[in-house]
Structure 1
Amino acid sequence: MSIDNHIVAIIVDDEARHHETLGKMLNNFCPEINVLGNAHNVNEAVNLINDIKPEIIFLDIEMPGGNGFTLLDHFEEPPFEVIFTTAHDLYAINAIKYAALDYLMKPINIRELQEAVARATKVINKKENRTSQEKINVLKSNLKLEDQRFTKIALPSSDGIDFIETEAIIRAEAERSYSNFYLENGKKVLVSKPLKEYEALLEQCNFFRVHKSHMINLTHLEKYVKGKGGYVIMKDGSHVDVSVRKKEDLLNRLM
């Protein structure tokens, strides 16, 4: 619920000092946010959410008696935006990134906080669907994996979010501040983020950056053709140049 055009929020974190710190930051730098409650664990959070119906939840990942992700299990379709907060846990962060959800690293940076709040506020003010259930499903599915080779990735485009199996991506190409993802079915998805945003994630799923402008899925590599740098031929027949400085690393990987 909104109060006097303010967006109602709660903070869920087991550390009282974080409640105080984040609360002050929101008050000073995000005046559109009205924090109406704090919870220290999952049970408290569920009761608070049902009571005041917040529009944004700042949710700590690591908590006793169930982590931040288990809180989402209590809501079939979460009617609120989620901004995760964490001090560590790279695996969880990668899973969050794959699901295109927002997160903030502790200690929280003011600019990043404002940007995350602005994205959530935009969704709320447009009265769009709250945190997509499919995003949550992607997150939960990826968190169950032990080898960190995530099976699905959320790709935000101009008209929504595409949820794509990573194995279905043949290659990704940088296009200034955007990225093109080429799929097995011949479809191309233009994503409103630079390729560097996905590099670390895709590397965990058998992708390799062969050039400053290209990442390829080695699963779909058909042939390497020798040359100064050479080039690769992908399953869809596309030819992708290999930079000279990437050539040796690629050949070592293939061997």
Structure 2
Amino acid sequence: MEDKSKIGAIIVDDEERHHETLGKMLDNFCPSIEILGDAYNVDEAVGLIHEKNPQIIFLDIEMPGGNGFTLFDHFEEPPFEVIFTTAHDLYAINAIKYAALDYLMKPVNIKELQDAVARATKVIGKKENTTSTEKINVLKSNLRLEDQRFTKIALPSSDGIDFIEAEAIIRAEAERSYSNFYLQNGKKILVSKPLKEYEALLEQCNFFRVHKSHMINLTHLEKYVKGKGGYVIMNDGSHVDVSVRKKDDLLNRLM
């Protein structure tokens, strides 16, 4: 019998051993989760979701006969939180990160599993237990890009999530465990994640880390001013210091 005090979940993965491993980890380390069933492909998952109404889906990306992303073709507004699981698909992981969705690398780490479950539980507790349709649209859009150059990034803030074209970001500044993103339109977005969480993503969009606390969009760079480290002037008029150890790398990038 389903325990109403717990959060219902299903595991979608084509390999039995992954079902067993993840199921045991959830039983032992995430007592708030109740596994309602297992599916081994997307078609089975769709039927199980309609039957059991789970609040969380642990969704494998790589499955025969179509990857896990095709699950969202069956739900206009997904009525569940999703936590992706994957072994190695870097392209898919980047697409997931850009859309601010959650994922776990196989073999799954216990602490990362607990953190992912805690984040999903927090959303469910706010009665917002649906995966954002806009997040999924960003994910689908990114996955369609043949050159793997993603154009839109999700920035979670205190009042929601902003979906911003990367080229519209002039610079990003670290502020302890938060980040400030400065946009072309003059808007500043305070993001509830450290800058290091975005470094690899932004580097793919022509950003460069000029200082431990700053990344700039080279597309918006107006001028480099010489000095010990020097500084750059962006096209919004802002000045950003360049660290001594980053100076040569920056100049080589600009030449």
TM class, shorter-chain normalised? over 0.9
SS at 1:3 equivalent: coil
Q: Are residue 249 (structure 1) and residue 252 (structure 2) matched?
A: no
Which residue pairs with 1:191 in the alignment?
A: 191
SS at 2:210 equivalent: strand
Q: C-alpha distance in 2, partners of 1:225/1:125? A: 50
RMSD, aligned CA: 1.0
Q: C-alpha distance in 1, partners of 2:63/2:88? A: 13
The alpha-carbon deviation at position 146 of structure 1 amounts to 2.4
C-alpha distance after superposition, 1:221-250 (max 9, x if no partner):
111111111111101000011111111111
C-alpha distance after superposition, 1:86-123 (max 9, x if no partner):
01111110110111100000110111101101111111
Q: C-alpha distance in 1, partners of 2:95/2:252? A: 28
Q: C-alpha distance in 1, partners of 2:237/2:187? A: 14
Q: C-alpha distance in 2, partners of 1:226/1:146? A: 39
SS at 1:23 equivalent: helix
The alpha-carbon deviation at position 129 of structure 1 amounts to 4.9
Q: C-alpha distance in 2, partners of 1:159/1:96? A: 21
SS at 2:124 equivalent: helix
| The 10-residue stretch of structure 1 (224-233 or 179-188) with the greater mean CA deviation from structure 2 | 224-233
- Aligned partner letter, 1:5: S
C-alpha distance after superposition, 1:169-193 (max 9, x if no partner):
0000011111000000000000111
Which residue pairs with 1:94 in the alignment?
A: 94
Q: Give yes or no for contact 2:80–2:129 (8 Å, CA) kept in 1.
A: no
Q: Which runs of 5+ in 1 are unaligned?
A: none
Q: C-alpha distance in 2, partners of 1:196/1:122? A: 23
Which residue pairs with 1:223 in the alignment?
A: 223
Which residue pairs with 1:104 in the alignment?
A: 104
Taking only the aligned residue pairs, the percentage that are identical comes to 87
Which residue pairs with 1:54 in the alignment?
A: 54
Which residue pairs with 1:17 in the alignment?
A: 17
Q: Give yes or no for contact 2:210–2:246 (8 Å, CA) kept in 1.
A: yes
Q: C-alpha distance in 1, partners of 2:185/2:142? A: 23
Q: Give yes or no for contact 1:221–1:232 (8 Å, CA) kept in 2.
A: yes
The alpha-carbon deviation at position 143 of structure 1 amounts to 1.0
Q: Give yes or no for contact 2:61–2:85 (8 Å, CA) kept in 1.
A: yes
Q: Give yes or no for contact 1:148–1:204 (8 Å, CA) kept in 2.
A: no
| TM-score calculated relative to the size of structure 2 | 0.98
Q: Which runs of 5+ in 2 are unaligned?
A: none
Q: C-alpha distance in 1, partners of 2:247/2:115? A: 38
- Which aligned pairs between 1:131-150 and structure 2 lie closer than 5 A? 131-150=131-150
Q: Give yes or no for contact 2:62–2:86 (8 Å, CA) kept in 1.
A: yes
Q: C-alpha distance in 1, partners of 2:192/2:24? A: 32
| TM-score calculated relative to the size of structure 1 | 0.98
Q: Are residue 84 (structure 1) and residue 84 (structure 2) matched?
A: yes
| The 10-residue stretch of structure 1 (221-230 or 74-83) with the greater mean CA deviation from structure 2 | 221-230
Q: Are residue 26 (structure 1) and residue 26 (structure 2) matched?
A: yes
Q: C-alpha distance in 2, partners of 1:11/1:72? A: 15
SS at 2:74 equivalent: coil
- Aligned partner letter, 1:128: E
